[in-house]
Amino acid sequence: MKNKMMKYILALVPISLLAFFGLQSFSHSGTASADYKFAADDLQPTATQKKVENLVTEILSNYHYRRVPLNDSLSSKIFDNYIKELDFNKMNFTSTDIENFEKYRFELDDQLKNGELTAAYQIYNVFRNRAKERFAFVASMLSKPVDFKADETYTPDRENASWAKSKDELDNIWRKAVKSTLLDWKISGKADTSAIKDLRERYKRTEKYFDKTKSEDVFQQFMNSFTESVDPHTTYFIPKTASTFNQEMAQSFEGIGATLRNEGDYVMIVDCIVGGPAFRSKQLNPKDRIVAVAQGDDKPYQDIVGWFTDDAVKLIKGPKNTVVRLKILPSNAPVGSVPKEVRLVREKIKLEEGTAKKEVLNFNKDGKEYKLGLITIPLFYRDFEGARNGEQGYKSTTADVKKFLNELKAEKVDGVIVDLRNNGGGSLTEAVSLTGLFISQGPVVQRRQSDGEISVENDRDPSVTYDGPVSVLVNRFSASASEIFAGAIQDYKRGLIIGEQTYGKGTVQSLVDLDRFLKGEPEGVGQLKITMEKFYRITGSSTQHKGVTPDIELPSSFSASEFGESSQPSALPWDMIASTKYSPTSDIKDNELTKLRALYQDRLKSDAELKKLVADINFIKKSKEKKTISLQEDKRRKEIDEQKKKNIAELGDDLANETKEPEKVATDSTSIAQAKLKILKERRSKDVYLKECERILTDYILLNSSNQVKVTQVENKK
C-alpha cells in the first residue's frame, strides 16, 4: 500500500551511513532509446531528473535492505507497475498500445542504470494523448440522448479485465461509465439537463487539471513505480511532495486531519491524523474515496471527482469550528454502493490530541460489577528533543501510561485494556519502554540490518508498574510499534491479545535528503524514503507480512488480500531468525486460552450484537463478490434502494451522533469537552469489539481469580 500510514513509520531518521561511505560519481552512455525524438508538445525529462534517477538507483542497489538486483526481472515488474500507475482501470490504453510498449519491458533496468528516462516519458505521452481522446469522446456522448431503458450492465472495476482491443471497444466502456454516473444522479433526483451539465463540467475540469501535469509529476510516478517494485514503503518524493511529507511528520495540521492523495479520478484518504476530527469520527478509513464536499450544514455538495488533491484540500480545509460535509465511497463498499455522508467540524490538529487517554469502564457480568481500566494509545509518541535535553516531564507515551496505570491501581480496577486499534506505530523507544511497564527486565524486539547484523532492544528496569490482568485490543490497522508491543506482551504470556490480525509492517525506513549528494542543481532534487532494517519478535519470528495473530480473533471485514502488508506484491517476506533468551510469565496458560476461546465461540452463536456484526461482515463480503451493476433504470433503482437501507441500518445512529457534536449554543472549551465526552460514551456503548474484549478479560479474571492487582508495588521505573 503505497505511502500507507506514512506519519507513523518507525525510525524515520536521516541516513548518516551514506555520507560516511560515500556515493561514487558515475556516468553511463545512453541506450539506443536515447535517440528518440520528443514532439514539441511532449512532456520531457530534465537533466536534473536524469541525475536523480541515477542517484536513486545507486542508493537502492547498495543500501536497501533487500538489495534486489536491477535486472530484467525487476525491469518487468517496474514496467507493469508503471502501466498500472498510469491506467490502473484500463480505461485509456488499448491492447495495441501495450504491445507497442513491450519493447521496454526488459530495457527499463538499463535505462535506470544509465540515467535515461526516454521510455518512461514516451509511455506517458501516449497516455496523455489517449486521455485527450477520451475527453473528446465524453464531450461528444453528452451531446446525445441517453437510453436508460436498455437492459445492460457495467463493470466499474476493470483492474483485472483485458485491455480493450480497439478504440470502439474503449468507446463502449466509456459510454457505460458515463451512463452509470448519469443514471445514479437521475435516481438521486437530479434533472437530466443538470446532470449532463455537471458531468460535462466534471470532465472539462479533469481535462484542465490533466493539462497542468508537469514533467516532475511524471518523474515521480515513474520513480515510485521503480521504488514500489523493490518495497512498498520505499518512496521517492519530488521537492513539493517532500515538503508536504515533512509537514505531516511535524504533526502540524488544520482542517479535518486526513492525509489525501490522488488515486485515478478520486481523491483517496491515505490515513487519518491521530486526534483529528476524521480520526475521532471512526467513519473514515484508508482507501476511502471522497466524491463530493459541502460547506456548512446547508450548502450544496461540490463534486470533486477528477480533482487534483491540492485543489480538493483547499475545499476541505477551512477555519476551525466550521462544518464540512463529505460524500464518501468506503474502501470496502460493494460495487455500485451509494456514497455515505460524513459530517465533520474542522479543528486545529495538535500533537497533544494524539496522546494516550484513560477511562474506567463499569462492566456487569452475571450480576457482579467489574471495573476495567481502558487506556487508548493512538500512536507511540516521544519528545526526542526534550529527552535529549534532559527536560523534566517531557512528553512520552510510557510516562503518560505509567501515570494512568498507577491511577487505575488506586481505583482498584479488576483489569486493564490497552486499545491499540488504528495505531500505526511511532517511536520504537516508547514501544520498548511501554512493554517494560508490564514485564520485568528482558528483551522486547530484535532488529536485523541488511548486512545480517542483529541487535536486541531490551527493557533493563526490573520493576513492574502493573502486574494485574491485561488485554491488548488490536485491529487490521495496528502496525509497526503497535505490533512490537502486542507481540512482546503475547510472547511473554503477559496478557491477552484480542481483535483482528494486525497490519504486518515489520520494516524500518530512513529518510535521505538527496540535495546532500546533488548540490548546485537548478531545480530541487527531493528526498528518498528507504527501507533499511526489519523487526523480529523475541521468538525470532518476523512481524513483517504476518503481523500479530490475536489469541482470540474477532470477526473482521478487512481481508489480508486487500489491506495490510500481505496485500502488497513487493512486500518483504516473512522469515525467522534465532530466538533470543527470555523468560515468559505464567499469566496466560494454554488451558485458560482454550476455555476463553470456547466461551467466545458460544457468545458468537448467541449474543445478538456479535451475531449482527458477523451478519454485516458477511453481507459486505458477499456484496463485494458482485462485479457488475445494472444500467437499466428500474433495476438500478432497486439496487440503490437496497444499499440505502443497509447504509441507514449500519450508519444511521453514528451519523445522528455526529450531527450532535457541534452544539451551536456551546462553543466554549468546557462545553465542547462535555459534548465530546457524551459522544464518546455513546460510541463506547456501540463498540462491539471493545465490549467483547471486556467480556473476554472478565472471563479471564474469573478463570484465574488469583490474578489481582498489586497496589503496594514499589515503583522504580523512570
Q: How far is CA 281 from the centre of its chain?
A: 16
The catalytic residue among 225, 229, 281, 480 is 480
Using CA atoms, how far residue 191 sits from 64, 178, 298, 338, in Å, is: 56, 16, 20, 18
Contacts of 168 (CB under 8 A, 6+ apart): none
- Smallest CA-to-CA distance from 78 within 278, 188, 223, 199 is with 223
From CA 407, how far away is CA 211, in angstroms rounded?
Answer: 59
Question: Which amino acid belongs to residue 445?
Answer: V
Contacts of 330 (CB under 8 A, 6+ apart): 285, 288, 337, 340
> Is the Cα torsion angle 130, 132, 135, 139 positive or negative in sign?
negative
Residue with cell 440505502: 644
The catalytic residue among 288, 491, 551, 587 is 491
Contacts of 615 (CB under 8 A, 6+ apart): none
- Smallest CA-to-CA distance from 271 within 164, 354, 388, 180 is with 354
Hey, which bits of 300-346 come out as E strands? 302-303, 323-329, 340-345
Active-site annotation holds for 214 = no
3-class SS of residue 50: helix
3-class SS of residue 111: helix
The answer to whether the beta carbons of residues 398 and 439 sit under 8 Å apart is no
Backbone angles phi, psi at 415, to 5 degrees: -175, 170
Contacts of 26 (CB under 8 A, 6+ apart): 54, 58
DSSP state of 64: S
Active-site annotation holds for 491 = yes
Beta bridge partners of 368: 365
- Smallest CA-to-CA distance from 199 within 148, 142, 143, 149 is with 142
| Size (the chain), residues | 718
The catalytic residue among 179, 186, 505, 534 is 505
Contacts of 112 (CB under 8 A, 6+ apart): 53, 54, 57, 70, 78, 226
Active-site annotation holds for 480 = yes
Element (H, E) at 227: helix 215-230
3-class SS of residue 319: coil
Element (H, E) at 656: helix 633-660
The answer to whether the beta carbons of residues 245 and 6 sit under 8 Å apart is yes
The answer to whether the beta carbons of residues 294 and 339 sit under 8 Å apart is no
Residue with cell 521504488: 227
Q: Which residues are catalytic, by number? A: 480, 491, 505
